[in-house]
Amino acid sequence: MTDPSAGSDTVLYDLSDGVATVTLNRPDAMNALNTELKSALRDTVRAAAEDPQVRAVLLTGNGRAFCVGQDLAEHAQNLSGDLDAVWQTVPEHYTPIAMTLATMPKPVIAAVNGVAAGAGAAFAFAADFRIVADTAGFNMAFAAIGLSADTGSSWTLPRLVGIAKAKELLLQPSTISATEALELGLATQVVEAATVLETARALAARLAAGPTVAYGAIRRSLTFSAGHGLEESLDFEAQMMELTGATEDHHNAVQSFLGKQKPTFHGR
């Protein structure tokens, strides 16, 4: 696959050993989301989701921030002159980015190298794992500028911290330190800032070498069960078991275990 971020330097893309590393690249603006970056990120994560060579996705930011959310300078200009851009950015950008990150059939890791605010925090919450720098923090900044929640944060946040804490974080936004994020369940692991990308890449590489069809099916099952009852969820689990039970990975792994060997997975 050609570089899906080609045509814009606001997103960097690297595919190595099955891991697609997607880097937000507006460091001077703390990776604030202008239209160019939002469009490039949407197209890049979609392409990574569809590429069979990609077996895990790693999302991070360049510079001292992970992502501070919407570029408010551009937003202010649009409020004064281009209201179509204001109303369309959620369905055109934020919603598809969140949906792709949360539902792609492969694991997603966020390497949170610095502050993650608003939609930037929501990107991280849509991932399966959040490796967070000890100097980083999260801020659900929407209400601070008179907005409600978007980018899936009303769905992901209460599933991470519970409805009561989600209300607190959204209605009274303040920066949550990496230590508190770990206590709340927003962070999977907190590491020194200098090692956050290395740690996240090691995790992504381990996942990319695993049974990625099964990982994708598990993601789908968890998402399905969040909105359905037990009986429907059991039926969906059966469908996912049929899917994964027919894979080469499953058949080869069974034989490897019976032969007391370590299984090798190929994602098919």
CATH code for the domain in which residue 132 is found: 3.90.226.10
Shared-domain flag, residues 241 and 127: no
Put residue 260 in one of left, alpha, beta given phi > 0 → left and psi -120 to 50 → alpha.
left
Looking at the domain assignment, is residue 3 inside a domain? no
Is 268 domain-assigned?
A: no
In-domain check, residue 263:
no
> Does residue 48 sit within a domain?
yes
Is the domain of 223 the same as that of 154? no
Judge if 119 and 222 occupy the same domain. Answer: no
The H helix count followed by the E strand count for the chain is 12, 10
Do 58 and 16 have their domain in common?
A: yes
Backbone angles phi, psi at 166, to 5 degrees: -60, -40
Q: Say whether both 197 and 222 belong to one domain.
A: no
Amino acid 56: pLDDT: 98
Specify the pairing of strand 19-24 against strand 129-133: unpaired
Domain limits for position 70: 11-208
Same domain, 109 and 241: no
Residue 15 lies in a domain: yes
What would the two tokens of residue 203 be? 């995790």
Domain end residue (candidates: 166, 185, 208): 208
Question: Does any domain span residue 21?
Answer: yes
Give the pairing of strands 56-61 and 11-16. unpaired
User: Could you say which of 173, 188, 208 is where a domain stops?
Assistant: 208
Identify whether 84 is part of a domain. Answer: yes
Among candidate residues 208, 227, 244, the one where a domain is terminated: 208
For 54-106, the pLDDT digits (tens) are 999 999 999 999 999 998 887 787 787 777 776 788 999 999 999 999 999 99
In terms of domains, do 109 and 172 share one?
Answer: yes
> Which residues of the chain have a pLDDT value below 50?
none
251 and 120 assigned to the same domain: no
Residue 267 lies in a domain: no
Q: Are residues 186 and 227 in the same domain?
A: no
**Are 21 and 152 in a shared domain?**
yes
d(CA 49, CA 166): 28
Q: What's the confidence (pLDDT) of residue 2?
A: 59
The pLDDT value recorded for residue 80 is: 78
Looking at the structure, do residues 225 and 148 belong to the same domain, yes or no? no
Looking at the structure, tell me whether residues 93 and 196 fall in a common domain.
yes
N-terminal to C-terminal alpha carbon distance within the chain:
18
How many domains does the chain fold into? 2
pTM of the model as a whole: 0.92
Can you give the pLDDT at residue 82?
73
The CATH number of whichever domain residue 246 belongs to comes to 1.10.12
8 Å CB contact between 245 and 217: no
Structure tokens at 12: 């960097």
∠ CA 252-256-260, rounded to 5°: 175
